[in-house]
């Protein structure tokens, strides 16, 4: 992707991380399975686990296993950190997407339910850490997706009004958070989310490749 005569369609672009910029899906599913089998003695069906992606880890465990939530989270985090270099994958075209957006001076950042350390690690492993300056992580707000607070915080970090921002994500909670914030939303279909569910959630746009996302973000 090369610099284009087009200018960005939105003043600010905020990206979800897991399943959107970085392929962490296999790592997350395996981490949940490890934590659940270690602490509870049994995992959960993969479709259920994939539906948890995008939510804050502590909230998932608190709602599903309140008695063992802290032990589950600690077990998950330790195993996840150790396995990340082995299981995180790049999505073809995402680096080109980000470099192309930098070429047209797009203001952009990441808003993730991950903790900051894990988010930075994922970006580094995928070779994207030099392309994203602003990372809004779970520590930055007390409310989390699908609440609007993380996206509002991300827009403030970009110094761009909410109505001039778009949020790009792969999960229903991403679309719900964008709607709650009064922000445009783009759902990508290469992550954990089901395309039909993303459409039903009210995504303004649905894209199937980083190249298609690039064209949309440049108003083509």
| Cα–Cα dist 18/133, whole Å | 17
My answer on whether 112 and 194 are in the same domain is yes
Which of 33, 60, 87 corresponds to the end of one domain? Answer: 87
Residue 1 domain-assigned (yes or no): no
Residue 2 domain-assigned (yes or no): no
My answer on whether 170 and 148 are in the same domain is yes
Q: Name 141's Cβ contacts closer than 8 Å, sequence gap at least 6.
A: 149, 150, 153
Is the pLDDT at 5 greater than 70? The verdict is no
My answer on whether 168 and 77 are in the same domain is no
Determine whether 96 is an active site residue. no
CATH number at residue 187: 3.40.50.1000
Residue 2 pLDDT level (bands cut at 50, 70, 90):
low
Is the pLDDT at 185 greater than 50? The verdict is yes
Is the pLDDT at 4 greater than 50? The verdict is no
Of the chain, the percentage scoring pLDDT greater than 70 comes to 97
My answer on whether 82 and 93 are in the same domain is no
Task: Indicate the Cα dihedral angle 137, 139, 143, 146, nearest 10°.
Answer: 20
Whole-number average pLDDT of the chain: 95
For the stretch 34-66, what's the b/e string if a residue is b when 16 or more beta carbons lie within 10 angstroms of its beta carbon?
bbbeebeeebbeeeebbbbbbbbbbbbbeebbe
Residue 4 domain-assigned (yes or no): no
My answer on whether 132 and 161 are in the same domain is yes
Tens of pLDDT, residue by residue over 141-159, are: 999 999 999 999 999 999 9
**Using an 8 Å Cβ cutoff, are 173 and 145 in contact?**
yes
Residue 155 domain-assigned (yes or no): yes
Q: What is the mean pLDDT of residues 15-34?
A: 97
Which of 55, 87, 119 corresponds to the end of one domain? Answer: 87
My answer on whether 16 and 123 are in the same domain is yes
My answer on whether 62 and 134 are in the same domain is no
Is the pLDDT at 1 greater than 90? The verdict is no
The residue segments making up the domain with residue 196 are 12-24+89-217
Residue 183 pLDDT level (bands cut at 50, 70, 90):
very high
Question: How many domains in the chain?
Answer: 2
**Which tokens is 40 given?**
């509870």
Which of 87, 109, 131 corresponds to the end of one domain? Answer: 87
**Which residue of the set 16, 23, 170, 174 is catalytic?**
16
Tens of pLDDT, residue by residue over 68-108, are: 999 999 999 999 999 999 999 999 999 999 999 999 999 99
């Amino acid at each position: 992707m090369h610099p284009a005569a087009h200018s960005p369609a939105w003043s600010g672009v905020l990206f979800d991380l897991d399943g959107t910029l970085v392929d962490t899906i296999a790592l997350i599913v395996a981490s949940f399975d490890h934590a659940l089998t270690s602490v509870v003695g049994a995992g959960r069906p993969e479709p259920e686990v994939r539906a948890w992606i995008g939510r804050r880890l502590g909230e998932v465990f608190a709602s599903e296993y309140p008695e063992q939530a802290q032990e589950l989270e600690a077990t998950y985090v330790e195993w996840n950190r150790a396995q990340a270099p082995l299981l995180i994958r790049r999505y073809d075209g995402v680096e080109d997407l980000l470099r192309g957006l930098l070429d047209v001076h797009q203001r952009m950042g990441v808003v993730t339910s991950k903790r900051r350390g894990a988010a930075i690690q994922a970006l580094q492993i995928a070779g994207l850490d030099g392309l994203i300056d602003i990372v809004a992580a779970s520590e930055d707000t007390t409310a989390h997706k699908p609440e609007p607070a993380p996206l509002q915080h991300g827009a403030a970090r970009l110094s761009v009004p909410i109505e001039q921002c778009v949020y790009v994500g792969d999960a229903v909670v991403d679309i719900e958070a964008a709607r709650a914030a009064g922000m445009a939303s783009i759902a990508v279909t290469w992550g954990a989310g089901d395309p039909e569910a993303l459409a039903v959630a009210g995504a303004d746009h649905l894209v199937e490749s980083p190249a298609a996302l690039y064209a949309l973000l440049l108003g083509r």
